[in-house]
Amino acid sequence: MSDKLKLILLAALVVVLALIWWLGGTTPERRGERTLPRQLLQVDTAALRSFTITPPPPSSAPLQFQRDSAGWTVRQGLLHTRAFQRPLNTLLAALADMHPLAMPGTGAATLARYRLGDSAAVVLRSPQFPGGAAIRVGGSTGGPATPTLHAAEAATAVMAGSDPNVYLVPGTFAGVLRMGFQDWIPKPMVNGDPANWQRITFVFPGGVGYSLERTRAGWTANGQPADSTKVEKYLRALSRYYGSTLADPADTLHAVLVYSLRVEDRTRQEPVLLGIFQVQNRLIARSTLAPPWIVMQYNASVDLPRMFRPPEAFLPGTAEMQR
């Protein structure tokens, strides 16, 4: 065999080996990035009427969500309530466009890493999902750095239907699907549209109080011209404030009112009232926006400085208000 023929055969062998490596030797992650489906799930959320969230074992019964003329309700066994709209909006936004950003791969190690095994995944079902497919949801993560997903990009790990692959899709909605029934109970305080608020009256222990009041010239705090930018920033935060944990309604039997907040809203016949009560060495809260049985735990070190501020906090030239 001539040297020239040997070189030709050697070059051909190198090409074949390179082709074998490319087709079979690349990682599942890189192969997956080349074959990502365009869409895993796309739902018309305006037409969605029901869905079910099944937590991993040994958690409690599934949460069943149903839409009626007044909005969404959630049921777990005999328990039933209106659903908290804020996390529901996060979930519906994810369902509206669930497209893959990356495909980490398959196999037990990948399922464990992304909390998608049978003992860790949450299962989301709806008869209105395309093909009735079930979506398995694992954890939310920044994700690995890949050509299609930067390391800091927020994503959630999912599996769709019978597809064995793990996909990372946009958004961090895993925490929403792991909420318990009590988490889904709305716990409003003084929510609303600050554009409609005319006067906010604060009462502190000992009966001392003052008002923020909207005038033609802008806001006043305790009768003095206020920095309207500071006031409006505070009111926007206040309007989105919800309680996080329920307290026992029986706690109010021996509670003492120590703080109160009154919001006069031009779109409501009655003002919104929030009362902060002391029960032994802790605080609880009740709002007229919630049913009488809704009593919320209240964190004195976190909630009080955010909601109950002295008039000086809103005056021009004072330090930036605490968020």
Contact status, residue 172 vs residue 93, Cβ threshold 8 Å:
no
- At 72-131, the pLDDT tens digits run 999 999 999 999 999 999 999 999 989 999 999 899 999 999 999 989 999 999 999 988
What percent of the residues of the chain are helix, what percent strand, and what percent coil, each to the nearest 5? 30, 30, 40
The helix/strand/coil state of 305 is helix
pLDDT of 321 higher than 70 = no
Q: Which value, to the nearest 10 degrees, does the dihedral of the CA atoms of residues 109, 104, 94, 58 take?
A: 0
C-alpha 93/C-alpha 79 separation (Å) is: 26
The number of angstroms, rounded, from the C-alpha of 146 to the middle of its chain's C-alpha atoms is 26
- 10 Å Cβ neighbour count for 315? 17
Evaluate if residue 15 carries a pLDDT over 50. no
| Among candidate residues 209, 323, 185, the one with its CA nearest the CA of residue 258 | 209
Residue 3's pLDDT band (cuts 50, 70, 90): low
pLDDT in tens, 237-270: 999 999 989 999 998 888 999 999 999 999 999 9
Tell whether omega for the bond before 164 is within 30 degrees of 0, i.e. cis: no
CA distances from 73 to 48, 99, 181 (A): 13, 27, 11
* pLDDT confidence of residue 25: 40
pLDDT confidence bin for 58, thresholds 50/70/90: confident
**In the sheet where 122-125 sits, what is the strand order?**
79-82, 71-76, 63-68, 50-54, 122-125, 135-141, 155-160, 166-170, 102-105
pLDDT score of 23: 41
Residue-range domain boundaries for the chain: 50-181, 194-314
Query: Which pLDDT band holds residue 32 (cuts at 50, 70, 90)?
Result: very low
